[in-house]
Amino acid sequence: MYTTNYMQNAHKEAKIRNLFTWQRLAGVWVLLAVFAGGVFMGQSGFLPVRQAFNSRTDLPKTVDYSQVDRVYQALKDNYDGKLTEEQVLNGLKHGLATSTKDPYTEFFTAKEAEEFSNDLQGTITGVGAKLELDQDGNIVIVAPLSGSPAEAAGLRAKDIITAIDDKSSYGLTATEAVLKIRGQKGTKVKLTIVRDAKQQLEFTITRDTIHVPSVESKILEDNIGYIQVSQFSDDTDELALKAVQSFRDAGVEKVILDLRDNPGGEVSAAVGISGLWLTNGQTVVQQRRGSKPYSTDTVSGSLSPLKGVKTVVLMNGGSASASEIVALALRDQAGARIIGEKVMARVSCNSLFRSMMVARSR
């Protein structure tokens, strides 16, 4: 396929440019991330404390940290370039998360956490496209936002971004790609993309400030209420409740909840949305290690304005984490019907892990 060949060629070029360094330092970042990253995160209190559970891995209880010292000395003595202590530490932490081989598990620096928090508030300065990392390591456009510079330029869902400002995107996480694409309002960014595994296209797009309301609604024919939730933000509960109140005033009898291309967000907002259908005390999401639950989120303070209302939930390949939580909670406990594409099971630790990091960084 064109995509595979293109990505392989780009990767080979990157390898050639860095041959001198990587001949000396093969495996440096992996070792540093696995051994030192855990020490840093544990000692700094970065990860929140939760109820104890048995380890799910076969990693030893203790590690010979002299290996980390040897790798660090090799890096310090032989790396042919400039490095700061902050870069090394961030590399350790990013590498630790990357070692999971899970595209939905990421470490956030303070800057990345701030950007993620801004996303949850619905205000960004960039081109206005949702990105994700696929299982092959490609940066993929989930969907351009309505009315955004990305949509105006002609970017489409499933376009693969192979370069940002002529620099290969291979090896970047979705968050790192987002940070490289964003910038000051009025500046330009060049994106090289592959479309349909055969076309290579280039787009130069002017960045702009974009505010994306997390909830939009309207009333369709036959007394059907339509709610679209683009992400789960701080104001999602409030906006959705206002929409539902307008539905009740109009005598709406059925509801469509559109979660297509919703990448997730705050779990608390997902619980709040679920409370429009569920009653107090009903479980929305429960985290388990094996068969042992260690965290449960339940509905509280809800008037359940949509309890008993026939509901359809729309999903597609861009629906993730908190979207999956809501869809399954409504299917299992409110009798809602899910229609659309199958999604990957990304609720396990994705949105929860990210939310923990953002909360700690504020």
Both 15 and 145 in one domain: the answer is no
- Give the C-alpha separation, 73 to 93, whole Å: 18
The packing angle between helices 174-181 and 110-121, to 10°, is 80
Please report the pLDDT score of residue 61 as a whole number. Answer: 80
198 and 219 in a single domain? The answer is: no
Looking at 181, 211, 241, which one is the last position of a domain? 211
**Structure confidence at residue 335 (pLDDT):** 96
Q: Which pLDDT score, from 0 to 100, does residue 23 have? A: 41
Do residues 172 and 259 both lie within one domain? Answer: no
138 & 245 share domain: no
- For residues 219 and 175, membership in a common domain is answered with no
Evaluate whether residue 108 is within a structural domain. Answer: no
Identify whether 119 is part of a domain.
Answer: no
**Numbers of helices and strands, H then E, in the chain:** 13, 15
What pLDDT does 16 receive? 40
Q: At what angle do helices 267-274 and 322-334 cross, to 10 degrees?
A: 20
Report if residue 115 sits inside a domain.
no
User: Nearest 5°: CA angle at 149, between 123 and 151?
Assistant: 110
In a shared domain, residues 205 and 224: no
Residue whose structure tokens are 């932490």: 93
pLDDT at 43: 38
Range of the domain at 38: 2-99
How many domains in the chain? 3
Q: Tell me how far apart the alpha carbons of residues 167 and 179 are, in angstroms, rounded to a whole number.
A: 14
> For residues 26 and 180, what is the distance between their CA atoms, to the nearest angstrom?
26
Q: Using alpha carbons, select from 286, 291, 267, 294 the residue that is nearest to residue 332.
A: 286
Instruction: Indicate the pTM of the whole model.
Output: 0.58
User: Is 109 inside any structural domain?
Assistant: no
Mark which of 179, 211, 243 sits at the end of a domain. 211
- What confidence score (pLDDT) does residue 314 get? 97
Q: What is the C-alpha separation between 105 and 38, in angstroms, rounded?
A: 15
pLDDT average per 10 residues of sequence, the chain (362 residues): 45 43 39 38 39 61 77 89 87 82 79 74 82 89 87 94 96 88 94 95 95 89 95 90 95 96 87 95 88 89 92 90 93 96 54 33 28
Query: Is 118 in a helix, a strand, or coil?
Result: helix
Write down the pLDDT at residue 234: 85
- 258 and 320 co-located in one domain: yes
Q: What pLDDT does residue 121 have? A: 66
Amino acid letter, 232: F
Kind and range of the H or E run holding 358: helix 350-361
- The residue type found at 296 is T
Within a domain: residue 205? yes
Q: What is the pLDDT of residue 351?
A: 35
| Per-residue pLDDT, 44 | 39
Q: Residue 243 in contact with residue 215, Cβ under 8 Å?
A: yes
Could you tell me if 172 and 220 are in contact, meaning their C-beta atoms sit under 8 angstroms apart?
no
Strand partners, 225: 219, 255
CATH number where 272 lies: 3.90.226.10
CATH code of the domain containing 137: 2.30.42.10
% helix, strand, coil for the chain, step of 5:
40, 25, 35
Q: Identity (one letter) of the amino acid at 43?
A: Q
Q: What is the pLDDT of residue 100?
A: 82
Question: Which is it for strands 254-258 and 224-229: parallel, antiparallel or unpaired?
Answer: parallel
Please list, in sequence order, all residues whose beta carbon lies within 8 angstroms of the beta carbon of residue 176, skipping any fewer than 6 positions away: 112
- Please give the single-letter amino acid code of residue 25: L
Q: Are residues 184 and 275 in the same domain?
A: no
Distance of alpha carbon 348 from alpha carbon 320, whole angstroms: 10
Q: Which of 240, 312, 322 is nearest to 285 (CA)?
A: 322
How confident is the model at residue 319, as a pLDDT? 87
User: Are residues 219 and 355 both part of a single domain?
Assistant: yes
Token digits of residue 196: 């349909």
Q: Report how far residue 83's alpha carbon sits from residue 76's, in angstroms, rounded to the nearest whole number.
A: 9
Residue 219 shares a structural domain with residue 327: yes
Which pLDDT score is estimated for 130? 83
The two tokens of residue 278 are 């569920």
CA distance 229 to 114: 22
β-pair partners for 201: 193
Point out the domain boundary residue: 211, 228, 261: 211
For position 106, what pLDDT does the model report?
80
Q: Could you tell me if residue 105 is inside a domain?
A: no
Q: Are residues 191 and 305 in the same domain?
A: no
Note whether residue 335 is domain-resident.
Answer: yes
* DSSP secondary structure letters along 199-225: EEEEEEEE-EEEE--SEEEEEEGGGEE
My answer on whether 227 and 136 are in the same domain is no
How far, in Å, are 84, 132, 165 from residue 126 at the CA level?
28, 16, 14
Residue 107 covered by a domain: no
How many Å apart are CA 36 and CA 331, to the nearest integer? 43
